[in-house]
Chain A
Amino acid sequence: MPGAVTTAPNPAATGSGARRRRRRARIPAPVLLIAPSVVFLAALFLWPIGVGVAQAFTGADGATVAHLRRMVDDPYFWDAARNTALLIVVLIPLQFAFALAMALLLRERPRLSSFYFYVWCVPLAISDLAAGLVWLAIFADRGYLNSLLARLGLGDGYAWLSYDNQATVFLAVLLAELWRATSLVLVIVVAGLQNVPRDYDEAAAVFGATYWQRLRHVILPQLRPSLQVALILRTILGLQTFAVAQALTGRNFPLLVGETYQWYVMLRNEGVAAAIALVILVASIGTAVVYLRVLRDPAAGSLR
C-alpha cells in the first residue's frame, strides 16, 4: 500500500521518463506534500518562540532580567500560578472520574443514548469565554442559583463570585470548567472503549468478577493509552484556562494566561507578558515530559 501511487517501477521507461522519475526521486512526492505544512508550522511556531524569548529577556538597553523581576514581584503572578496549579490538581481527577462514568453509562447502551451523547458533547464546541458567561448567568448575584434559592426560601442572595468568597469563586470556576471540558475526555474515552472487546469483559463476568473488578482489571488497563492522551492534552489545555475565570470574576481569580492578557492588553507591557508566556511554555513542556516518563512504565499500574 505505501508508495504504491507514484513509485510503481516502469522497466520500459524511455530516457525522458527515467529522467523525470529521477528528478522526482530527488524530491519524493510525500516530502513535497508535507513541505508546505512544515514550513508554515515552523514559521508560526519556532519563529515566535524565538521572538518571545528575546522579548522576555531584552529591554531598552540590551539583555535584562527586569521583566522577570517585575513578573515575580507582582503578587498577582503568584496568585495566578497557585490558582492555575490548584485548578488543574482538583479539576483533572474529577473530570476523569466524571468522563469515565459517563462513558461507562453510554456503554450500557441506554435508550436515547445518541441523544445523551449529543447533549454531553455540546460543550466540546463551546469556548471557555462562552462557558464562563453561561455560568455567570447561574452564579451572578442576581443570577439563577440565587433566584432558585430565594424561591425555595433559602436566603436572599449569596455573593458567590465576590472577592471575599474565594472558596465559592474557585467552586464556580471549577464547575464551569468541569462542565465545559469534560466532553473532550469523554469522546477520547468513548473512542477508547470501542476498542475494548466486550468478550474480555464478558469472560471476566462469566468467571464471577464483579463490576468493579472488571472495571479495575479488564477495562481500565485497556483504556490506558486513551487515558494517557487525554491526561496530557487536558493538563496542557488546563494550563491555558483563562477566559472562564475572566468572564466569571474578572481578576478576582487570576490565572497565568489571564495575567499575560492583563499585562499585554491592559498594561501594554509585552516584556512581562512574554515572560509569563514563557513560564506557561516551560510548565507545559515540563508536564508533558513528566507524564511521558511516568506513564510509559507499564509496571506503574493504572493511572492516578
Chain B
Amino acid sequence: MLTKRAGLKLATAFAALMVAGTASAAEKLRLLTWADYAPADIVQQFTKETGIEVEITLSNNEEMISKLRATQGAGFDLVQPSQDRIAGPQQEFGIYKPLDVSKLKSDLFIASMLEATKKNTTLDGKVYGVPHIWGTDGLIVNTKTAPNVADYNDLCSAAISGKASFRAKRPTLIAFAFANGMDPFASYNDPKAYTAMMEKVGAKLAECKKNVKYFWDGKEQLLNSLRSGEIVAAMAWDTGGWKLNSENPEIKFVAPKSGALGWVDTFAIPAKGRNDDAAYKWINFNMRPEIAAKVAAAAGNFTASNGADKLMQGKLKDQFAESFPKAAIDNIKWYPAVPAGIEEIEGKILDRLKAGS
C-alpha cells in the first residue's frame, strides 16, 4: 500500500512530468506533408536555428484533407496540400486558417507563381495557401520497349497490352479528357457538362483497362515495375521518371502531346493549428534559396523559391530540358481550384472504372 507521503511524492512527480510534457510540446511544429518534402538534414538545421522541433507525418492530398476534416482542422500546425485542393475543401469543411501574408517574406517566392497560387486559394477575399514545390504529371516511358508512347491515349494501344499503368485517381480523368480533345477545366463550374464529359472519359478508360497491369497507388511500386520491365509505360510524376532516367537512360519522362498536368503543392495552416509562429518560421526558412534547392533536390522536383534554380544540380536541369522543350512548357495544364462537389462526380466514374472488368 502507498503511504501518504509516497503518494504525495508520486503526485508531485506526475505533475512535474505533465508540466515538462506541455513545455516541450510548445516548441513543436507538427507538419503534415508529402514524402521527401522535409529531409532530415533540413529539419535538423531548422531545429538548430530556431529551437523548434519538427514532427513529420507523411500523407497525400486526400488523406490530408480527410485527417483535417476528422478533427475539424486540429492535430497539425502546417499542411501541404496541392493548390487546387484548398478552396473547395475550405468551403465545404472549413479546415484551414487564412494566412497572414505580412508574416511571409514575399520576395523569397517566384512572384508569378505566388500570385497564381494566392489567386487559386482565395476564398471570400482571404488567402489560404502559398506555393512550395511544383511539378508535372506526364508519361514515364521505356523508350526501348515502348517507343511509340507519346500521349496518354497511347497507354491504351495494343502494342503495350498488359504493360501499362495509371492511377485510378482524378489526374488520370483530367489527362484523358485533354488527350481526347476536351477541356475539363472549362467545365469545372458546370456540373452537368462536367458529368457528361467524365462519363465519356470513363468509357474511354474502361476500354483501356485491359491494357493496364494495375492501377498504381504507391510510387515505389510503380517504379519497381518499370525497373523490372513488367510495366513499360505509365502516367506518373516527372520526378519518378527522372529518377529512373538516372538509373537507366532508356526510361524517360515524356511531356505528353496533349500537355503535362502542372501541380503546385502549397503551405497552408490548419484551422486549429496551435503554433502558427513556428509554421511561418518554417515557411520562410524553407523558401530561402539554399534550403529550397536542397529540398527540391531531395524531392526531385522544382521549387517556388526565387533563385533556388540557380543553385540546383545540373542533372535535373538537363533532364527537365530533355522532357520539356519550350512548346511543352507552354502546353502544361495547370490545375485550377477544384470546386466543391467535383470529386463526387469523378469518384463515381473512378468507382465504375475499378469495378468494371
The answer to whether A binds B is no
The chain A residues found within 8 Å of chain B, CB to CB, are none
